[in-house]
Structure 1
């Protein structure tokens, strides 16, 4: 999938106002109309123009897209980075699949159903709209609970149609046992009501920060723990930090890298807590001194061990 420069598609500057974007869109729509254009790719180009308009005339989509576009150029190989849309408030629901059929995979991956900024249609109502945002927390917060100050970017449009962002700072209590994908509801923190009606709510969707030590599946947590060759070969009692704190565990004699030890109920807390799976990783000490090299040579001479030899041979 290639990155699309929507400003380039419409032929406008990145600082273009709403009126400038609309003007360029109307000009291109007349030029590419099937009754007028003789260009063989007119239909495809018109689709791209419609897609660019859908993003750049929506303050929520445009604000998030502008931040993402700082890192890419048109035509560059592209996959949406994890949590690219974290920290943005957005309103409404999502595009239906039928709507997405007119747009590219690039658009669908960023703004389709299940994406964040610029979700779908809005309806007139007295109560303010609910708003949504994705936030990223550390796994430890799910084990212990926490209070966090978060700052969200809220799109604003000035009288000239220029999009900017307003910071929305909140103190949020992260409940113990929260899972990835779960929503925290902040009552009254959504859009203001219409005609004196109550404000909507703000829903925060929880995601865990990327951490090479852990892999999370629902409430189960998988953690790699390094051990020495002698701990693995002879067995040992060791201590290791985990998201829930320091734990003691027994390494069975004869363990190999990849061996999995299950600590029942030590995963993410809940009515039915998950399990913590310790995956052992045997780490060799470096042979960077004469003494270390001598020890390795003694092992090579006396153990006569060949891991490539067939066990049955």
Structure 2
């Protein structure tokens, strides 16, 4: 990671960093819509419960995921020399595509190490924006080994998927837009993988006195275990359909979650598939499994959310249709 800490503006994570990020990336990103469906409201609370769900559609962001916000924010802080040397990262798909497109727009060469089990649609998304792809074995060991290799052999900058203040600040702008659109929210739910989106969301929500819940699949519940034990637990074997959430928490993200997140909820893959179907059918937008966890959680834990106005961040919409077990119930 040599050099990354010296990027101009890479200061400590704080609320002002997110507010500055919003202005810096405004001309590059899509200010995604916030949608509501009365059918989904009634499905989780009943006709008389008064529950309202407001979906922040980051599946409609450039490259199909919220990751473009953080990637763009990070590259905008590179010096001219650092831009020329290029950047590298490791990604199962969405961060890699986001970084590739941001690099394309800003003239920065991008190298991405992609696990061999990453969905085909996400690999294609990375390649579409001209990134140089290196395939690696699944799991954190292979990721760390590839990062160490590039660090030792190149002058490129490492742009982590989530564990850095500039990345977290960029991701936090999604929640900032959500709250501006719906200022009377009683809570926000966001998916949890490495924690970049959730920690940025939690900082913004905490500044407004709004509670936040993270959601992750049962088959990748290291975040819930970390939250419970008070120390970062290793990622679980990559078995969940929620491919974008199969990583461990970071040293920058975990302390924020400890301070500002109410709880980490877990849902099964079957519950995620049901939620994804409902979102496709009622919102008329495509979301990936990693996004659907938030609606799955509202359905699974109605006692927590009945009668509340909730913001749900739909993190992405890059789905490999051939790998979705629609009849797996």
Query: Would you say same fold, with TM above 0.5?
Result: no
Provide TM-score, normalisation by structure 2. 0.26
Provide TM-score, normalisation by structure 1. 0.27
Which protein, 1 or 2, shows the higher relative CO under an 8 Å CA cutoff with sep ≥ 6?
2
